[in-house]
């Protein structure tokens, strides 16, 4: 009987190592079909899941309460599984080089509890070669087993889009790869249990690793192009959104828009690709240029805020700037690598300590990671400048009267609205006499 058949018949279990924005939806999806052990080092997170609370908002409390995942922070429980999925984050260091410590740590944990006949599949985003050249030696050293003889490996890059309720795990084609034909088929069959639209069998593990970093690098470059246009059009006095709307009337327009590029994928993955390329003697030209542009957008927005304050005859250091949104994207509590923080830090250089509001964000994480105390939206009043930084649904649904109330008794021409996400009707805002700027 194959490992796939044993898992399907519930004679064997799978484990998901790392229960964050990626790992949790995977564990929940598989638990509807087979037996799943969900492991995470964070005992507090495990306790929340056991209590039926989803801190990621990716699955939802109701789903968590009724799911059969065996949540644990006890790594020895992994010995009960034969198919391991590693879904831990792969961030970057302060010098923009890959930080592989989470995936290395997860490999040590899995290795210590690895049994013969197992398959280990990595979903963490890495540059080509990490799975075979870095993770395998760790698994072998910790387990005393031999890869290819006692256990096998594969790679299947995560493609989940946090906060997206349309493009979900089940309806995104899954790239799968294995160290040989046998492991590839086993891995593909296991994932086909939950991926409704099917899987794509990559030719090798390195191909699958490369596909992940390249698909996000491509998006990064396209957004960088739009951001560069936005900066140029700002100098020209041309509205970028109007240009984009006109351009998109052509059938082959790509539909990208300018914006802040953060998070744990698009703002990080290109550096993994560049790192490995430079090790081989190739210095990236396009990818690094795109990264430089996107990393500078927070300062660009902050400078636009300062200009508007000056033109409105505000005393910059005394101006009350309110920022709506801190997460890296809309409708998610995830603040990792949020570029809204770049706006905040740039404003601080001018002596402004902005008030930050985000009902979706994790308040504890915002304080711990960035030293920012989030404020309840009900407590916002007498603002000089309102910055719509993240397009949460709750923000987009605000009426103009609600927006107006944030400013208190200011005259309309003294009210500054900075629309980073271009969600407001420009004509309506300008008819009210606001000082308005959008990216």
Residues identified as active-site: 265
Closest C-alpha to 353, from 385, 328, 378: 385
Identify whether the C-beta of residue 3 lies closer than 8 Å to the C-beta of residue 186.
Answer: yes
C-beta separation of 17 from 78 below 8 A: yes
Burial of 212 (0-12, 13-18, 19+ CB in 10 A): buried
Instruction: Mention every residue, 6+ apart, whose C-beta is less than 8 A from residue 309.
Output: 316, 319, 321, 384, 385, 416
Q: Which runs of E-coded beta strand occur in 124-180?
A: 151-155, 174-178
Cα–Cα distance measured from residue 303 to residue 33, given in angstroms and rounded to the nearest whole number? 52
Q: 360, 394 in Cβ contact below 8 A?
A: yes
> Are 120 and 84 a contacting pair, CB within 8 Å?
yes
| Upper half-sphere CA count for residue 423 (Cβ side, 13 Å) | 22
To the nearest 10 degrees (0 to 180), the angle between helices 205-236 and 240-247 is 120
Taking only Cα atoms into account, the Rg of the chain, rounded to an integer number of angstroms, comes to 24
362: number of CA atoms within 13 Å, CB side?
17
User: How do beta strands 151-155 and 174-178 pair?
Assistant: antiparallel
- Identify whether the C-beta of residue 388 lies closer than 8 Å to the C-beta of residue 400: no
> DSSP string of 168-183?
-GGGSPEEEEESSHHH
Of residues 84, 113, 115, 114, the one with CA closest to residue 13: 84
> Which pair of tokens denotes residue 438?
């959008």
- Cα dist from 63 to 20, 59, 66, 72, 86, whole Å: 15, 6, 5, 18, 22
């Amino acid at each position: 009987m194959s490992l796939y058949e044993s898992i399907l018949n519930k004679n064997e279990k799978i484990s998901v190592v790392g229960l964050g924005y990626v790992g949790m939806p995977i564990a929940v999806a598989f638990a509807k079909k087979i037996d799943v052990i969900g492991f995470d080092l964070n005992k507090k997170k495990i306790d929340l899941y056991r209590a039926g609370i989803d801190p990621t908002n990716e699955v939802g409390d109701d789903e968590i309460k009724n799911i059969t995942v065996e949540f644990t922070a006890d790594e020895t429980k992994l010995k009960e599984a034969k198919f391991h999925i590693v879904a831990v984050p792969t961030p970057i260091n302060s010098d923009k080089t890959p930080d592989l410590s989470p995936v290395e740590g997860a490999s040590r944990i899995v290795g210590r509890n690895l049994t013969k006949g197992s398959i280990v599949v990595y979903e963490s985003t890495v540059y080509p070669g990490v799975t075979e050249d870095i993770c395998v030696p760790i698994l072998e050293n910790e387990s005393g087993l031999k890869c290819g003889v006692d256990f096998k490996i594969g790679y299947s890059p995560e493609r989940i889009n946090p906060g997206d309720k349309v493009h979900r795990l089940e309806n995104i084609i899954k790239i799968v790869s294995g160290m040989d034909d046998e492991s590839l088929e086993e891995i593909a069959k296991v994932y086909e249990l939950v991926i409704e639209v099917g899987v794509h069998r990559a030719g090798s593990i390195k191909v699958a690793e490369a596909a992940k970093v390249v698909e996000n690098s491509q998006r990064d470059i396209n957004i960088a192009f739009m951001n560069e246009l936005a900066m140029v059009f700002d100098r020209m006095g041309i509205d970028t959104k109007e240009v984009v709307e006109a351009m998109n009337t052509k059938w082959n327009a790509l539909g990208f828009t300018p914006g802040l590029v953060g998070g744990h994928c698009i703002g990080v993955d290109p550096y993994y690709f560049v790192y490995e390329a430079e090790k081989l003697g190739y210095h990236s030209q396009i990818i690094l240029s795109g990264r430089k542009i996107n990393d500078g957008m927070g300062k660009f927005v902050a400078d636009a805020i300062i200009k508007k304050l000056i033109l409105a005859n505000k005393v910059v250091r005394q101006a009350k700037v309110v920022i709506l949104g801190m997460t890296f994207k809309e409708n998610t509590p995830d603040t990792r690598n949020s570029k809204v923080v770049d706006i905040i830090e740039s404003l601080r250089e001018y002596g402004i300590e902005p008030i930050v509001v985000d009902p979706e964000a994790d308040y504890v994480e915002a304080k711990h990671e960035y030293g920012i105390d989030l404020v309840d939206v009900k407590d916002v009043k007498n603002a000089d400048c309102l910055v719509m930084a993240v397009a949460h649904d709750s923000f987009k649904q605000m009426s103009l009267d609600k927006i107006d109330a944030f400013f208190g008794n200011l005259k309309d021409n003294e009210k500054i609205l900075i629309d980073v996400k271009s969600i407001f009707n420009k004509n309506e805002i300008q008819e009210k006499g606001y000082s308005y700027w959008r990216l």
